[in-house]
Structure 1
Amino acid sequence: MLEYDAAGLGNHEFNCGLDWLNRTLADATFPLTCANVVTQSRSASPGNFLPPYLLLHRKLRGDDGQMHDLTLGVIGLVPPQIAIWDEAHLSGRLYAQDMVETARAIVPRVRAAGADLVLLLAHTGIDTGAPRPMAENAALALAALPGVDAIMAGHSHDLFPQPACDTAGTSVDHARATLNGTPAFLAGAYGTHLGVMDLALTRRAGRWSVASHHCTLRAVAASSAAATAPDPALSRSLHAAHNLTLRHMRKPIGQSAQRLHSYLALVRPDPSVAAINLLQQRILSCAVADTPYAALPILSATQAFKTGGRGGPQNFTDVPAGPISLRHAADLYPFANRLCGVLITGAGLRDWLERAAICFATQHPDRPEAMLRDTTVPGHDFDVIAGLSYQIDLSAPPRYDRCGALINPASHRIRNLRYSGKPLADTAAFLLATNSHRVQGGGAFQRVDRGAIIHISTPILRDEIVDDIARTPLVLPKDKAAAWQFTNMPGNTVLLDTGPALRSDPDAIADINATDLGITPQGFLRLRVPL
């Protein structure tokens, strides 16, 4: 028997910057694999953009003291939704196929090519719902495929395994670190954890198999109480580059008149969201100033990108009042989206808000103290549209599911939707500032029709935000009128898990009449909030 430590393998995400990637590939000294991204359309004969699998030949010492040859087959997979999220880059150039069907077809090929073990590097999370074609989070279905020995997953920012979770004997078994009986891990996001997978192998009848395994997550973020100490040699090697990066990110770019944090972004109109919406409106207004669309009223839709959840109790935006640096801009807007301007009607705005409101759990009068969030929906799916006022009725079930499918046709959570104090007409015309991820159908949102897109910025939105703040101090309007609020449910309260650092802003807690219930075992600050 011998042990194989797979900690050194990483999940190579597909990069939509094809020109950059092609240059990188020309000089690459490290292997890349991706099986389900092809260079032809669905109707043509596809060709792989990258090698669909790798064969890694290793010599390992066994318990018998002898060296043994082992060939590890590695298959890379990415969510097929990249073709939607990055349509502007990929359309007509690359097409993404179903991960499960791709793996089902290729695993036997990898075995036939000489692989003793097959490992999936799958940029996909765990969805316990029924398997469906072209699924975004397909780790469970992948782990159930014959011939797969282990899977290193990701994408959903989950931590797996978490031994404290009582899931023994289920398809997602934290205690045994298995998905459908297959060894697996998901190592969070943003480098917070290192996944380590030890496989004990045995050879019978000329064939290697996994006899036992041990999968663990090692916390590496400095904010974690269980953080692993940095490697001294690696720290020395990276010291100069690290300090250069810090100096660059601390470069001042402008001023903010108030603190901007997202700790309460899911229970009240949020300053950090309002800041991005204000900036998007300003930028789009300049972009269309000399066009026929300049006369249309401009609204703006954005979300709080950091709302805790799977990212943990430090996963919140918190920008202090005063000087703003590049680091703060990245905190406010962490993704490389582009600003888009789209033509939209009042009916379209209402539907947009219905899709945004699915992140909340349905509340019932006979269950007066339930969790606010639907934990199956990321908080960053909750778009707020600046320029409108409306209420969200949590007693109504969500109209759409996580993937945007209509599940409750008779249900409407959005109430009293108004523009300039008047009920919003379905036929009213607007220009909406939003981001390329939403326009391309990210989250539960519908893909915007090409004909409705009248502007796409060339620079990424974060760079435009930096330039705008440098020109004009960021000062939010003093209008206290609520852009949105929950419909009153007298006697009902909801529970919200947020960041403990909110305690440094007691006025914000008092403004929503919340009660501090203490810190949860996961490190969140739990609030009781009246509806």
Structure 2
Amino acid sequence: MTYTKQTPLSRRHFLAGAAAGTTVLTLHPYSVHAASNQAHLRIMETTDLHVHVYPYDYYSDKPIDTVGLARTAAHIVDIRNEATNSILLDNGDFLQGNPMGDYIAYERGMAEGDMHPVIAAMNAVGFDASTLGNHEFNYGLDFLMKSLAGANFPIVSANVVTERGASPREDKTLLKPYVILDRMVTDGAGAEHSIKIGMIGFVPPQIMNWDRRHLEGNVSTRDILEAARAYVPEMKEAGADIIIALSHSGIGSADETELMENASVPLAQVEGIDAIMTGHSHLVFPSSRYEGFAGVDAEKGTIHGKPAAMGGFWGSHLGVIDLMLENSGGEWKVAASASEARPISKRNEDRSITPLVESQDFVLASVAKDHEETLAYVRRAVGKTSAPLHSYFALVADDPSVQIVSIAQKWYIEEMLKGTEHEGLPVLSAAAPFKAGGRGGPEYYTDVPAGDVAIKNVADLYLYPNTARAVRVTGAQLKDWLERSAGMFNQVEAGKADQVLLNPEFPSYNFDVIDGVSYQIDLSQPSKYGPKGELEAPDANRIVDLSYDGAPVTPDQEFIIATNNYRASGGGDFPGAKGDTIVFEGPDTNRDVIVRYIVEQGTINPSADGNWSFKPLADTSVLFDTGPKAKDYLDDLTTLNIEAAGDGPDGFARFRITL
């Protein structure tokens, strides 16, 4: 499993043209101060690229400065100029994750000999090795293997098994578990030496659940730590001087448990591993995000004393580990290390973005044709909707734009929970309107007419790149979740006309509608919770007639609620969603779930089912403001006694609801 390439690890000849015009940077201190028996090795990492080559948001159909391997490549060029020796690695999740990936998988396909665009871009940049992430399996094994065939670099994975042996070393793995690269390094005196650099890769074992339909019966997974303890000694026996773990696994608990998803902390304790590249979490290391984690030094960038890095996601950062290697008695050892994560952009105090690098033309050119084809793909229909998708009345009635998100989330979570201990529990779905006027103005609404739905329309339905989650709650928590959501409304006095309905301090993205149960909101009651989730009226009961499948919900009844990572982890401070009830953390964004649902259904029926409403109050009316185009959809609101009530402020239209 030795991959021989007797070329120096210094700057690559094919990047000479790309680097032309770039200011040559001062050598890194390790390179400057290396002695005759020392060599500075700079290890670079991308992770969770998710097919983001161009700095472009295909959902909103516009360029952006926060993503793209073409931008990250600028750092790579500079770093190859800063260090005497360098190596570039990818840590997985490169094959899926944006519309370009879906276009290749669902539309163009991969025949034998075809080149996947992200592989073409990685070849152009000059990666030395990679591992698999969990998303590599989303399109099936045949698509995966055809895509990998075009790589000019080895791709390793130690814990995905096609034939299971008595121990990992007797397994037949889908890919090589590890690779040992024969390289030449230049020491501080300018002399060249041979060195064997071992790379071993790991993926979360949870792929067997996340992509069961593709993997069950074809492959199985080993525990990450079990595989590492088997193969790392073998790599040493094979002559590896240093070993780098490509851990597509986050930085989590220091306590080892079986089949850990985020196993990078205990992995660092495996003897023989010299450095760890982490990923999967879409976070940055070193960073203050990991202060206080057991075994982790968030300032030095080490895990159990070993250097580590995590380069964000979508090309947002380049993870960098500097190793000062020292040769003693013919053996290379790590004498010193440093870690960093270089960003490609900076977010300013006013929320604007300043790019820190420019795109590298040679990377853009490698996928230019695929980029243009993807633009055509996102601009054309991938399905149809039988009813308009608008959010003009999303805060006052069951709404089609929220309904389709709920339907797609429920469809996804039900599939993901098959074969788990949670299968069979009622699955509900929580979704909120993101574009509902407010500070966004009278045009800030979702408005997709009946008919064709393009992928870029999904950005109108779901603004944020959240990932899918599921929580397990009781009936009591479910009711309080809805009580928290009902803080959207001001208290109303029965028998009084034209009272203001909406609380302007309550953001629309915290108005969760829960599909799968039916309920009414009694506006005559005070809100139990304040705008930020603070308990204000413990005895208040706005949620009435809460039922599931025609029967009242009991406090001890159990439910699964499909939602997103923001809400499930405590965003908005909702009862039942504080991070301690999560039973499933999906690898997919909610946007991707919606797109997949539309593609699979062909024609979607987002008509709201009217599962929630206001409790009738005699001789009572309320006023609310929405976008002027809402008048076009008034006839659709058969569940509300609603009428136009003139103009609202700042270009909004005003409507009256008789309760």
Bucket of the pairwise TM-score, normalised by the shorter protein: 0.5 to 0.7
Match of 2:390? 258
The 5 Å alignment of 1:277-296 reads 277-278=406-407
Match of 2:332? 208
Match of 1:13? 133
Match of 2:517? 387
Shift of the alpha carbon at 1:244?
Answer: 2.5
Structure-2 separation of matches of 1:106 and 1:140? 18
Q: Is 1:100–2:230 an aligned residue pair?
A: no
The AA in structure 1 aligned to 2:456 is R
User: Conserved in 2, the CA contact under 8 Å of 1:74 and 1:121?
Assistant: yes
Match of 1:192? 316
User: Conserved in 1, the CA contact under 8 Å of 2:519 and 2:544?
Assistant: no
- 1:350–1:149: structure 2 CA closer, same or farther, 3 Å change rule? closer
Which of the pair has more CA radius of gyration? 2
Structure-2 separation of matches of 1:34 and 1:156? 18
Structure-2 separation of matches of 1:159 and 1:418? 43
SS state at 1:243 partner: helix
Structure-2 separation of matches of 1:356 and 1:63? 68
2:243 to 88, 111, 118: 118
Structure-2 separation of matches of 1:54 and 1:89? 26
TM-score scaled to structure 1, two decimals?
Answer: 0.58
Match of 2:484? none
Moved more, 25-34 or 49-58: 25-34
SS state at 2:372 partner: helix
Structure-2 separation of matches of 1:48 and 1:322? 47
Shift of the alpha carbon at 1:444?
Answer: 4.3
Q: Is 1:232–2:361 an aligned residue pair?
A: yes
Match of 2:171? 46
- 1:202–1:355: structure 2 CA closer, same or farther, 3 Å change rule? farther
- 1:137–1:272: structure 2 CA closer, same or farther, 3 Å change rule? farther
Q: Is 1:481–2:613 an aligned residue pair?
A: yes
1:171 to 295, 312, 316: 295
The AA in structure 2 aligned to 1:320 is T
Shift of the alpha carbon at 1:215?
Answer: 2.2
1:2 to 34, 39, 51: 39
Structure-2 separation of matches of 1:254 and 1:63? 64
- 1:305–1:258: structure 2 CA closer, same or farther, 3 Å change rule? closer
Q: Is 1:31–2:154 an aligned residue pair?
A: yes
Shift of the alpha carbon at 1:479?
Answer: 6.5
User: Conserved in 1, the CA contact under 8 Å of 2:264 and 2:278?
Assistant: yes
Structure-2 separation of matches of 1:83 and 1:213? 36
User: Conserved in 1, the CA contact under 8 Å of 2:286 and 2:310?
Assistant: yes
2:595 to 447, 459, 462: 462
- 1:282–1:5: structure 2 CA closer, same or farther, 3 Å change rule? closer
User: Conserved in 1, the CA contact under 8 Å of 2:286 and 2:301?
Assistant: yes
The 5 Å alignment of 1:356-375 reads none
Deviations 1:395-419 (A, max 9, x none): xxxxxxxxxxxxxxxxxxx998522
Q: Is 1:87–2:219 an aligned residue pair?
A: no
Shift of the alpha carbon at 1:321?
Answer: 2.4
- 1:241–1:384: structure 2 CA closer, same or farther, 3 Å change rule? same
- 1:59–1:321: structure 2 CA closer, same or farther, 3 Å change rule? same
Give 5+ residue unaligned stretches, structure 2: 1-37, 45-87, 92-131, 348-352, 414-424, 435-443, 482-508, 522-527, 530-542, 564-580, 586-591, 616-625, 628-659
Shift of the alpha carbon at 1:468?
Answer: 5.2
- 1:199–1:92: structure 2 CA closer, same or farther, 3 Å change rule? same
The 5 Å alignment of 1:498-509 reads none
Match of 1:322? 448
Deviations 1:341-381 (A, max 9, x none): xxxxxxx98669979999xxxxxxxxxxxxxxxxxxxx9xx
User: Conserved in 2, the CA contact under 8 Å of 1:301 and 1:383?
Assistant: no
Match of 1:486? none
Structure-1 separation of matches of 2:90 and 2:214? 24
The AA in structure 1 aligned to 2:380 is K
Q: How many residues align?
A: 386
- 1:273–1:196: structure 2 CA closer, same or farther, 3 Å change rule? farther
Structure-2 separation of matches of 1:271 and 1:213? 55
1:244 to 352, 367, 373: 373
Deviations 1:466-492 (A, max 9, x none): 4757565x4546765389xxxxxxxxx
Structure-1 separation of matches of 2:254 and 2:432? 25
SS state at 1:39 partner: strand
Structure-2 separation of matches of 1:96 and 1:352? 36
Shift of the alpha carbon at 1:259?
Answer: 4.5
SS state at 2:90 partner: coil
Q: Is 1:181–2:305 an aligned residue pair?
A: yes
Structure-2 separation of matches of 1:141 and 1:427? 37
The AA in structure 1 aligned to 2:358 is A
Shift of the alpha carbon at 1:280?
Answer: 7.3
Shift of the alpha carbon at 1:246?
Answer: 2.1
- 1:89–1:322: structure 2 CA closer, same or farther, 3 Å change rule? closer
The AA in structure 2 aligned to 1:200 is M
Structure-1 separation of matches of 2:146 and 2:613? 52
User: Conserved in 2, the CA contact under 8 Å of 1:277 and 1:386?
Assistant: no
SS state at 1:107 partner: helix
Match of 1:313? none
- 1:279–1:79: structure 2 CA closer, same or farther, 3 Å change rule? closer
2:547 to 415, 418, 429: 418
Shift of the alpha carbon at 1:146?
Answer: 1.4
SS state at 2:339 partner: strand
Match of 1:523? none
TM-score scaled to structure 2, two decimals?
Answer: 0.48
Shift of the alpha carbon at 1:176?
Answer: 0.7
Shift of the alpha carbon at 1:389?
Answer: 4.7
User: Conserved in 1, the CA contact under 8 Å of 2:286 and 2:339?
Assistant: yes
The AA in structure 2 aligned to 1:10 is D
Shift of the alpha carbon at 1:56?
Answer: 0.9
- 1:478–1:166: structure 2 CA closer, same or farther, 3 Å change rule? closer
CA RMSD, aligned part only? Answer: 5.2
Shift of the alpha carbon at 1:31?
Answer: 1.1
SS state at 1:156 partner: coil
Match of 2:488? none
Match of 1:141? 266
The AA in structure 2 aligned to 1:199 is L
User: Conserved in 1, the CA contact under 8 Å of 2:324 and 2:334?
Assistant: yes
User: Conserved in 2, the CA contact under 8 Å of 1:269 and 1:482?
Assistant: no
Match of 1:293? none
Match of 1:365? none
Structure-2 separation of matches of 1:58 and 1:305? 54
Give 5+ residue unaligned stretches, structure 1: 285-297, 308-317, 339-347, 359-378, 395-413, 436-442, 448-458, 484-503, 506-531
Structure-2 separation of matches of 1:283 and 1:86? 12
Shift of the alpha carbon at 1:423?
Answer: 1.0
The AA in structure 2 aligned to 1:113 is A
- 1:177–1:207: structure 2 CA closer, same or farther, 3 Å change rule? same
User: Conserved in 1, the CA contact under 8 Å of 2:246 and 2:276?
Assistant: yes
